[in-house]
Structure 1
Amino acid sequence: MIKFLVNCLVFVIDKLYKKRPYARFYVLETVARVPYFSFVSVLHLYETLGIWRKAEWLKVHFAQAWNEYHHLLIMESLGGNRRFIDRFLARFTALIYYWVIVFLYMLSPRHAYYFSQLVEEHAYHTYDNFLRRNARLLKQLPAPIVAINYYRDGDLYMFDEFQTSRRPFERRPVINNLYDVFVCIRDDEKEHVTTAIACQHPQAQTTFKSPHAAYIITLKASAADTQREAVG
């Protein structure tokens, strides 16, 4: 059922925007960030009701939404939202999608994360195909300022925080042209897939950590080992 819903969404977007990639990416990014809004909303609700408190999950999902938000800003800077019909379709779809994921997350977080995984996998392959087909042209075009500020010159704490398969500071993109920007976006989508898979792990409720939290734990453990060796 989940695959069917994702395939329907993908089919509609792909058919409508086959010849307009930036508009297609604008719609895709508007929709792609919605699950993280849904996750955070439900987690806040559960915290308010005293059901559970998952600060690490909130941090990571907010960082994911922040990342997708900048993808959206990049597509807007490229003119992807120029037409009213594209903005309307993207926002209307996002509104429905938000509530679908909210209820799905309340019923089964694992299935909600699987839904998100499928959407992000599609996004990854979409950008990868776009890069392979348009590499020469993209390398001749300048990178949008918003991309430079997010990936290179800005505060990269939030950029690190959604990549649960990596240590903080490990990934630092090079941005010289529009091709580099789309490489970053494609690779971001892969990181979202990895994080969605990690959230589906049976022990995730007790073991899941944000990258910075996991890094601090590692540093403390290393320092403790060093101290024991010095004492011994």
Structure 2
Amino acid sequence: MSHLLTRLALRRLVAGGNCGRYLPSSLSVTPGAAGATMAVVKPWDDVAVARGQGLGALVGQWRRMVSSVPEHAAPPEKEKKESGEAAVMGEKNDEMMVSSYWGISKKKIVREDGSDWPWNCFMPWETYHSNLTIDLKKHHKPKNFIDKVAFRTVKILRIPTDIFFQRRYGCRAMMLETVAAVPGMVGGMLLHLRSLRKFEQSGGWIKALLEEAENERMHLMTMVELVKPKWYERLLVLAVQGVFFNVFFVLYVLSPKLAHRIVGYLEEEAIHSYTEFLTDINSGAIENVPAPVIAIDYWRLPKDATLKDVVTVIRADEAHHRDVNHFASDIHFQGKELREAPAPLGYR
């Protein structure tokens, strides 16, 4: 073996030590009865050979090269950590690729104080300061048969609500908002379809009614943060919403003037319920807890706002919805269509 290595080294020196040339990739050695073994040999260190470090240095390098563990191999723990980090980065890159493939990505939105905007369900430009100067005592007196039917219908619907919820105004408000968010969506949807069928503008009423539905939904999202509904209350919501949606849908198709008048009276009842809610808060019967963050951002309330502030702004919103729906009903009573009158967009 030593003789073979010496001959190879001398050939290397005679060739001029060209670093681009390699020795044969394998050496066949027959050490006797042990049988033949094959060793894979990488390029020799030409510098060591040129410096004449001798056969011992070459043999030592050959042993290192045929060793099963590389000299600079990374520890298994480090390899696992690096592979884990690479996998995480790969997942993040995949997510970025998926979100950016169609050119869709969420813009970075911040609050006025510079903190990140935490909500995807509404944006800062959709928030507002509620108008608390609105007259809460206005009432539409029933003048004709349709008005009386609408008024009596709402009064009858209030009876089972009072029996079931009594003075649990948080749960009552939650149920009320699941119902109050339906009419705006139904009205806006039917006006949208009418606009498509007749190739005519809606006068802005589609957007106005959908704004009302969205506002009522935000009332519900706020109340859910304050009141954790029980299973039977959730079941009741499913039943009431399923019945009310279909009944109101048919009613709006048959008589929009009656449908809007009923909603107007429902909003009057909502104002009354929230007024009672505030009475219990002021008396201490209901704890005046801190306002949820979602309410603070949506109505631009101060950071130290409380439940009383939240109920106050919700009551003002209900008063605005009362006016919008009574106004819509009046338009129909005058024999006109909604598109013929300006829609109260942004009326809050």
TM-score (structure 2 length as normaliser): 0.51
CA distance in 1, matches of 2:246, 2:304: 36
Correspondence 1:24-173 to 2 at 5 A: 24-50=172-198, 52-54=200-202, 56-81=204-229, 83-135=230-282, 137=284, 140-152=288-300
- 311, 325, 331: which one pairs with 1:196? 325
| Equivalent position SS for 1:98 | helix
- Which blocks of at least 5 consecutive residues in structure 1 are unaligned? 154-172, 215-232
Q: CA RMSD in A?
A: 2.3
Displacement of 1:205:
3.7
Check conservation: 1:24, 1:80, Cα contact below 8 A.
Answer: no
Greater Rg over alpha carbons, structure: 2
| Equivalent position SS for 1:211 | coil
Q: Deviations over 1:27-49 (max 9, x none)?
A: 11101111112102211221232
Displacement of 1:117:
0.4
- Which blocks of at least 5 consecutive residues in structure 2 are unaligned? 1-148
Amino acid at match of 1:95: G
CA distance in 2, matches of 1:48, 1:205: 14
CA distance in 2, matches of 1:175, 1:99: 41
Change (3 A) 1:6 1:48: same
Q: Is 1:13 aligned with 2:161?
A: yes
Moved over 6 A (4+): none
Quick check: which one's helix share is greater?
Answer: 1
Q: Deviations over 1:141-182 (max 9, x none)?
A: 2111111121017xxxxxxxxxxxxxxxxxxx9972110100
CA distance in 1, matches of 2:343, 2:174: 31
Check conservation: 1:151, 1:175, Cα contact below 8 A.
Answer: no
Q: Which has the higher contact order (CA 8 A, sep 6+)?
A: 1
Check conservation: 1:59, 1:210, Cα contact below 8 A.
Answer: no
Change (3 A) 1:80 1:192: farther
Q: Which moved more, 1:51-60 or 1:10-19?
A: 51-60
Amino acid at match of 2:177: E
Displacement of 1:208:
2.2
Change (3 A) 1:104 1:174: farther
TM-score (structure 1 length as normaliser): 0.75
Amino acid at match of 2:307: L
CA distance in 2, matches of 1:14, 1:80: 20
Amino acid at match of 2:329: Q
Displacement of 1:136:
5.2
Check conservation: 1:3, 1:115, Cα contact below 8 A.
Answer: yes
Check conservation: 1:77, 1:144, Cα contact below 8 A.
Answer: yes
Q: Deviations over 1:72-99 (max 9, x none)?
A: 0111001242x11111112211121112
CA distance in 2, matches of 1:2, 1:207: 23
Change (3 A) 1:174 1:185: farther
CA distance in 2, matches of 1:121, 1:28: 12
